[in-house]
Structure 1
Amino acid sequence: MLLNFLLVLSSLLICASAKNLLINAGFESTDHWDCPHMTCTLSSTAHSGHHSLQITHRQNGNHGAQQTVHLTPGHNYHVRAFVKLLTQVNHNGEDFVINFYYKMTDGSTKYPQAAHFEGIKKSDGWVDVSGVFGVDKNVHLQSATLQIHGGSNGVDFLVDDATIDMIAVTPNEDWRKETDAVIDKIRKSDIHVQVTNKNSLHLPDVSVQLLQTKKSFPWGMSVRDTYYNKNAVNGKYRDFVHKHFTWATVENGLKWHTAEPVKGQKDYQPALDTLHGLRSHGIKVRGHNLVWSTDKAVQSWVKALSGQTLRNTVQHHIQEVMNLTHGLVEHWDVNNENLHGQWYQDRLHDPDYDLELFRIAHHNDPHVKLFLNDFGVISKNLHTQEYLQQALRFKATNVGLYGMGVQCHFFTNPDPYGIKERLDVLAKAGVPMWATEVDVVNDNENVRADYLEMAIRSLYGHPAIEGIVFWGFWDKEARRGEAMSWVKGDHMEMTAAGRRAFDLLENQFMTDSTHRLSSASHFSVRGFHGDYEVHVHYKGHELHNATQKFTLGTQEKTIHITL
């Protein structure tokens, strides 16, 4: 039923045009395709049909097939091409890009990117490079040329079945209405109240309040141990986290390069103090992270290691930090941003070492939930398909993968359709997703509030999202200062963004329903999942013997009240 509902809802939400803007998109000839600075011929190896386009003699990775198309400012497009490597230079795979070359009416040029897939290997066969791409409504285009290219210099490849489809999106108000319908379907359940009137009270004088006291859905925030432990602004920082969130991520203290920048000089105590403080207030924690594979995050002393010594050192580190935090964290980001860096795999000349890292962690604690975690997969359309393939690979090898962390750093206005489209793609992996690092950036706090609401509703309104963790709330600790803040200054004054966020999290997405009885002794309310208290009043006075508590989950709940 839920799947059918979402399919119907999706058809109401978006409507993709059947018309492909590209001519000869199936490459049954070379007509309408330009191949400057390279050789393009037809190949009988095809993704579909009889032919594909074979591209050879490339002197630059930016060289590829191109075609000029008509794009309409203010519209979104779905862009796709299937690519197959004939040669490979980089042992970790080749990176491919679909972008546009804009000529503007004022003579300037731009190269906006529509899709990006890193690490394509010759053994992968045909690879789907695709994404959702929006044309800014204020752009003044003279012409737009699609470009399909990638790979190291001299790499030969095939391309087939290219498409550019315009996506017609319903107006924002309709999108909100439809998203609210999804939230109502997947985040709420029915509460049925049955009243037995043993004392023959006058029912119209009886009111029943269903008050939600705790949310089941995980709403979290990143926490800096330097502020949490040092009583920042007289404890207001710590109190803010305790008051508003049920989950947290220690932003830096558990990272290897932070805790042990010099070999043997380890300091996990600030992070451990934070973990104990959070847990003592009932806040669950995501462990972030065991290993970080981008070059900038690997300490110089680790970079000096190689071979079995490096393997032993990494294994000892994972075992040590997991033992230190045993019972204190629910999740671990195992190998952070592995799409964007493979330092350990490269150093060990082992492309499957990323799988080994999960095996080590899973063996050390089979109960903690292990995550991939990466960026450019939701807020942008750079690595979505690539992330799906990575998750499917981990899932197939049974190394203990629980879920996918999707970082959501929005530096421009979040696009509801683009977010939904990319989440739909990643949901094909069939594992839970957490939005792990959600933030928005704008100097105007009212615009920032709009951005934040759009991001929250888009993520909360998708069935694959299991939890949401925001990335910084205070202007003194947010990565981009006040432009990302929910509160500012030593008094932690709430900004418009903070007010909007908490109106959603603590008002609109919480249930507080009071029902005055009539002659009927039963009624129903649809409530958000979580913990509740029932309060009954008769002629303005509470009947304390009728007070009770219950938890509402995914199944409907019946409450019996005796008067």
Structure 2
Amino acid sequence: MKKYLYLLIAICSIAACAQQPERRDLLQSDRLASLYSRDKAGEINFEEETLYLKTIEQPKFIYKLTTTLPIKKERVSKNAVVLLSFEGKTNESSEETGEAKLLIQLRQSDSFKENLDRTLNIGSVWKKYYIPFQATQNISKDDLAVVFQFGFQPQELALKNIKFEVFPQNTALEDLPKTEVTYIGMEMDAEWRKIAQARIEKLRKSDFNITVSKNGQPVEKANVQVELVRHSFPFGATMHAEELLKDKDQYERFKKVFGLTVLGNDLKIKRWSSKSRRKQTMKAIDMLRADNIAVKGHVLMWPGFQYNSDEVKANKNNPEKVKELVRKHMWNVLAATNGKISHWDVVNEAYTNKDFQNLMGGEEFLYEAFKITKNKAPQVTRFVNEYGIISKGGIDTQKQQWYYDYIKRVDEHVPGAVQGIGIQSHMGTDLTPPERVIEILSFYATLGKPISISEFTMDEQDPVVREQYTRDFMIAAFSHPNVAEFMFWGFQEDGRGKVDIYEKDGTIGEMGKAYFSLVDKDWKTTLSRKLTKKESIESRGFHGLYQYAVTVDGETKTGYFEVKNQKMNEIKIEL
């Protein structure tokens, strides 16, 4: 019987192998001992089958302390799943939690926005960590890499039993083990949330008084229905000109949800240099404006050569020619969109993109971008825009301080140049506690400018965490008096797993569930009142556009009114 059982298992195993390849560990563990730190601020050692990553002094940039795991290079297809696993513990920490931090990156291309990041807090005792990824694009064997970044505050962490496994193509991400993602303040009775909701009640609402009259006299026995149909606070999402024009179903959904958009790539110098695409972009902008949707411009200057046109890159050693080409682009796009753009991201991501600054010996050309915008389009609001300010747990205080000081430098060189602060908010799995989000917003609020949550995304795919953190982040942002807009960097799930207000099939995604539970429920004012005598209706509601329906003696009148951010809104409805 045992022989038969063993034979059956062997036959089944052979059959399974014939049908589906086994998962493969690509780590070349025999080469871990060769890893070393290229920066004296850190140390990398490999002893007794354990990898030690030590930060001696926190560098200016987290990525300055980096090592790439030795793996067998092979191509990974889009949607394939991979699993990084290891046992880890913290030996030394500068954090109050006693934990060390490790940023893990699955490199998919040479563009940082295409790569997938996870930031872990490593505990003080040995624990098994599972970090699954699903490729959002085809990854060439030359691009595939697993990168560890550890340029945080002084710390030391230890890793052992490291594996990097690639699974068969039909393996589902949810079938892989994973380390649970949590964040401080996620509990349902968290105190920060109660305080934030009280601020929202005070900041985002005003009193209103409705009087119904006929022939100048108050009426009685009237049924009054009132509903908020659009917030004055601008909630928005990224769209692209091509999908706006060609995907009518998606655009119809978008119009019902948002009153603000930013065209992701269409106004950037690379795309704008194509005349056919330029024509498509202008057609999309005109369509959006006809539908009363505000359009934000992104971006006039991106000071990294990789984000510029081929002509700019071909002159990367000629500063005057680069200036000429970039100026020409800015003049052209500002003239073409004059009166059609509400606000612009003038300079994008100047912290990590320093090609222009290095070529020209300073930031003066960046300041000039604000001068050009101020002169050519004085009616638009001018924003700076930067990533890594709120994300990664909100602990990168050096970058936060740099951005703060940079904004001040721009204003010193061009008085009044910066009118708004863009904070991108691309969230990995090291989810910044909402209280810390509010602290960072308050830090930038001391500059006295409106703040845009300009590019909110989430890499975390766990549906419960994805929905809850989106909701909590929105509550934190909406509760802050300086936050003037909230923009998702995406609208419909596009295969990258960044934003899912809607899924591809038109159903509501996890982030959409969070959004609608707030904007269409918790933050929506409705009123149904029956007047029995000559009286007015006093109430309080969110700022925005309202639709009303008043019925008297079987006849109904409908219309609109606004509740503005003022002490009292007197609404007079004449039948």
Into which bin does the TM-score normalised by the smaller protein fall? 0.5 to 0.7
Partner letter of residue 541 of structure 2? G
Partners of 1:269 and 1:349 in 2: how far apart? 36
What pairs with 1:235-274 in structure 2 (closer than 5 Å)?
235-260=248-273, 267-274=277-284
Q: 488, 501, 506: which is aligned to 1:486?
A: 501
Q: Give the 3-state SS of the residue equivalent to 1:221 in structure 2.
A: strand
Q: Give the 3-state SS of the residue equivalent to 2:484 in structure 1.
A: strand
Following superposition, the deviation at residue 277 of structure 1 comes to 1.4
What pairs with 1:36-51 in structure 2 (closer than 5 Å)?
none
Residue 562 of structure 2: aligned partner: 551
Q: 534, 541, 546: which is aligned to 2:548?
A: 534
Residue 112 of structure 1: aligned partner: 101
Query: Is residue 2:487 matched to residue 1:508?
Result: no
Query: Is residue 2:104 matched to residue 1:139?
Result: no
Partner letter of residue 304 of structure 2? T
Partners of 2:544 and 2:89 in 1: how far apart? 57
Partners of 1:170 and 1:494 in 2: how far apart? 22
Following superposition, the deviation at residue 141 of structure 1 comes to 4.3
Are the equivalent residues in 2 in contact too, given 1:359–1:399 (CA < 8 A)?
no
Are the equivalent residues in 2 in contact too, given 1:388–1:428 (CA < 8 A)?
no
Q: Give the 3-state SS of the residue equivalent to 1:268 in structure 2.
A: helix
Are the equivalent residues in 1 in contact too, given 2:61–2:151 (CA < 8 A)?
no
What pairs with 1:82-481 in structure 2 (closer than 5 Å)?
95=60, 111-112=100-101, 139-141=123-125, 147=153, 172-173=188-189, 174-194=191-211, 206-229=222-245, 231-232=246-247, 235-260=248-273, 267-305=277-315, 306-380=318-392, 381=394, 382=396, 383-397=399-413, 398=415, 400-412=417-429, 413-476=431-494, 480-481=496-497
Q: Give the 3-state SS of the residue equivalent to 2:419 in structure 1.
A: strand
| Structure 1 residues 279 and 145: CA distance shift in structure 2, 3 A | closer
Are the equivalent residues in 1 in contact too, given 2:500–2:510 (CA < 8 A)?
no
| Structure 1 residues 105 and 311: CA distance shift in structure 2, 3 A | closer
Partners of 1:342 and 1:271 in 2: how far apart? 28
Partner letter of residue 501 of structure 2? W
Are the equivalent residues in 1 in contact too, given 2:259–2:292 (CA < 8 A)?
yes
Are the equivalent residues in 2 in contact too, given 1:442–1:484 (CA < 8 A)?
no
Partners of 2:280 and 2:422 in 1: how far apart? 24
| Structure 1 residues 266 and 62: CA distance shift in structure 2, 3 A | farther
Among all aligned residue pairs of Structure 1 and Structure 2, give the percentage whose two residues are the same amino acid.
24
Matched length = 426
| Structure 1 residues 106 and 350: CA distance shift in structure 2, 3 A | closer
- Deviation sequence 1:226-282 (CA, Å, 0-9, x none): 2122x22xx111212222111100001111123338xxx774122212111111111
Residue range with higher mean Cα deviation, 377-386 or 219-228: 377-386
Partners of 2:276 and 2:357 in 1: how far apart? 25
Partners of 1:146 and 1:338 in 2: how far apart? 21
Are the equivalent residues in 2 in contact too, given 1:530–1:552 (CA < 8 A)?
yes
Partners of 1:421 and 1:459 in 2: how far apart? 11
Are the equivalent residues in 2 in contact too, given 1:98–1:146 (CA < 8 A)?
no
Task: Tell me which protein shows more strand as a share of its residues.
Answer: 1
Q: Give the 3-state SS of the residue equivalent to 1:212 in structure 2.
A: strand
Are the equivalent residues in 1 in contact too, given 2:488–2:499 (CA < 8 A)?
no
Are the equivalent residues in 2 in contact too, given 1:295–1:343 (CA < 8 A)?
yes
Following superposition, the deviation at residue 512 of structure 1 comes to 1.2
Are the equivalent residues in 2 in contact too, given 1:307–1:348 (CA < 8 A)?
yes
Which TM-score applies when normalising by structure 2? 0.66
Following superposition, the deviation at residue 304 of structure 1 comes to 3.0
Following superposition, the deviation at residue 335 of structure 1 comes to 1.4
Are the equivalent residues in 2 in contact too, given 1:355–1:399 (CA < 8 A)?
no
Partner letter of residue 418 of structure 1? R
Residue range with higher mean Cα deviation, 530-539 or 361-370: 530-539
Are the equivalent residues in 1 in contact too, given 2:305–2:312 (CA < 8 A)?
no
| Structure 1 residues 528 and 428: CA distance shift in structure 2, 3 A | same
Partners of 2:39 and 2:64 in 1: how far apart? 16
Following superposition, the deviation at residue 96 of structure 1 comes to 6.1
Residue 91 of structure 1: aligned partner: none
Following superposition, the deviation at residue 463 of structure 1 comes to 0.7
| Structure 1 residues 513 and 351: CA distance shift in structure 2, 3 A | same
Q: Give the 3-state SS of the residue equivalent to 2:60 in structure 1.
A: strand
Partner letter of residue 240 of structure 1? R
| Structure 1 residues 543 and 313: CA distance shift in structure 2, 3 A | closer
Partners of 1:356 and 1:494 in 2: how far apart? 43
Are the equivalent residues in 1 in contact too, given 2:241–2:284 (CA < 8 A)?
yes
Q: Give the 3-state SS of the residue equivalent to 2:299 in structure 1.
A: strand
Note the aligned Cα RMSD (angstroms): 3.8
Partner letter of residue 308 of structure 1? E
Are the equivalent residues in 1 in contact too, given 2:89–2:124 (CA < 8 A)?
no
Following superposition, the deviation at residue 356 of structure 1 comes to 1.4
Partners of 2:151 and 2:361 in 1: how far apart? 39
Residue 77 of structure 1: aligned partner: none
Which TM-score applies when normalising by structure 1? 0.67
- Deviation sequence 1:162-207 (CA, Å, 0-9, x none): xxxxx9979642332221111111111001234569999995x543
Following superposition, the deviation at residue 309 of structure 1 comes to 2.0
Q: 32, 54, 62: which is aligned to 2:41?
A: 62
